[in-house]
A and B are shown apart, each in its own frame.
Chain A
Amino acid sequence: MNLTLKVWRQKNSQTPGKFVTYKAEEISPDMSFLEMLDVVNEKLVKTQEDPIQFDHDCREGICGMCSLMINGEPHGPKRATTTCQLHMRSFKDGETIVIEPWRAAAFPVVKDLAVDRSAFDRIQQAGGYVSVGTGGVPDANEILIPKTIADEAFNSATCIGCGACVAACKNASAMLFVSAKVSQYAMLPQGQTERYERAKAMVNQMDDEGFGSCTNTYACEAQCPKEIKVTNIARMNREYFNAEFIKG
């Protein structure tokens, strides 16, 4: 396959960026999108040019490091798929592909396509944890949890924190991410100790980071590579209002 790439190049967060056009030639349809970028980068290195910076790590769709706005869609055109698991057979030979970084005030560009997502880390640190006893090792499965609840909490916990929800949202809102993290603990007995403090702390941190607010367009749910549901956002709202008006 031969493709034309329009890639956002930006030296650092201080310098304004611009689109640069590259040719991606002799690309196998079985390559992943990141492997295609590797091929382009190898060529750039050979010609002494600065390779395109992009985030990646496990390349198995579970670490949440890869990102990229591909033709206006976070993680590209395939549903429930991260960029590393997106294959070039999803594109047509000769196609022009526009590649941009996540755009959000809370996700400043580090370089080219890599953005600083440490805002998510700070939200997690604000309340995304549970207290544990420091005594002896407890027996496994000592606390009984109904299967349906365990499944539901696990579904929320599958959020990999990639930031596609922020990228997809017209308001750059982080509510799908934050709500998944609030939900996974709120549903389980282990998460009850900090339940209401957690909702307040994580929502406040989310606001401080400068994310927008949710207008319930549900674009995040449609674009989430892990198919996190917007019912989590409703649950987060319940947790927060409960914390503020009833339990607080």
Chain B
Amino acid sequence: MSNFSKTFSSTLGKKLIMCLTGLFLCSFLIIHLIGNFQLFKDDAGLAFNEYAYFMTNFAPIKVVSYLLYLSILVHTIWAIILTQKNKAARPVPYAKKAGNGSIWSSRNMGILGTMIFIFIVVHMSNFWYNYHWGTTPYIEYRTDLNTGITQVKELTEAEFTGHVSYVENGVQIIKAKDLYKAVAFSFQQLWIVALYVVAMAALAFHLLHGFQSAFQTLGWNHSKYRPLINFLGVWVFSVLVPIGFAAMPLYFFFK
């Protein structure tokens, strides 16, 4: 075995992989949340659809997105490998268990992670798969550049010849895949809204332990930085981010 793979196959190496993929996924959550706030804009999805097109066609972002899919898989697979090893380390369980000073989420990262993984599969087949290869409605926006008034028209598949954005006689014309409408439609279904809200609760507890835990694994546990890391872990990643995401399906459901 080469030195490099030996390092990554040690327990600390495996934990480093969990930690780095986990932190990368955390950084993605922030970008995804900020971008998706455009769903709250009351513009028939103009900003959101333009953003969706940009995110799926701008080369550097495409590269990062493939890294992201890889991270999700690696984080999941390594979690399974580590869990198997950890289970094997205690073949005979204790007959009597007592509270041992650890928080609930730290002991149940696997269950929480599984819930999040199921969510990701549903989420990606709902939007990501359909946007790329499935059925998405099409839309045309005509914005009069003098008055700023936008007119919206649904397009059929035959009328849609690809994503375009141009100006003609003082009118900006944008033809796009209407992901916004697909989102609005999905979030009218109770089971999807419920799944999203439950998954975001799981995410909250997963990150309550996961974010600060990643820094401990990296070796960044210092009295100077610890309060900041704990603050970010609790208030940004396990409160603001999950609430922000959960607000989206709820907004469309009660709209």
Contacts and interface: CB of A to CB of B under 8 A. Distances in A.
B89 A223 contact: no
B216 A100 contact: no
A203 B12 CA distance: 8
Given A171-B86, A172-B89, A100 B96 contact: yes
A204 interface: yes
B90 A103 contact: yes
B7 A244 contact: yes
Contacts of A239: 219
Nearest to A77: B98
Given A168-B100, A223-B101, A245-B7, A233 B216 contact: yes
B101 A222 contact: yes
Interface residues of A, number: 50
Interface stretch (B36-44, B64-72, B102-110, B139-147): B102-110
B218 interface: yes
B11 A206 contact: yes
B102 A218 contact: yes
Contacts of B220: 234
A214 B80 CA distance: 14
B238 interface: no
Contact of A234 (B13, B92, B216): B216
Given A103-B90, A211-B89, A212-B89, A218 B101 contact: yes
Q: How many residues of B sit at the interface, in one of the four size bands?
A: 35 or more
A8 B91 CA distance: 16
B78 to A, nearest CB: 10
A237 interface: yes
B182 to A, nearest CB: 38
Interface stretch (A21-29, A56-64, A68-76): A68-76
B148 interface: no
A168 B99 CA distance: 10
Interface in A214-232: 214-219, 221-223, 230-231
A207 B93 contact: no
A222 B100 contact: yes
A98 B96 contact: yes
A240 interface: yes
B97 interface: yes
11 contacts: A72-B96, A73-B100, A100-B95, A106-B89, A211-B11, A211-B89, A213-B82, A215-B82, A215-B86, A222-B102, A241-B218
Interface of B: 3, 7, 10-16, 82, 85-86, 88-98, 100-103, 106-107, 109, 209, 212-213, 216-222
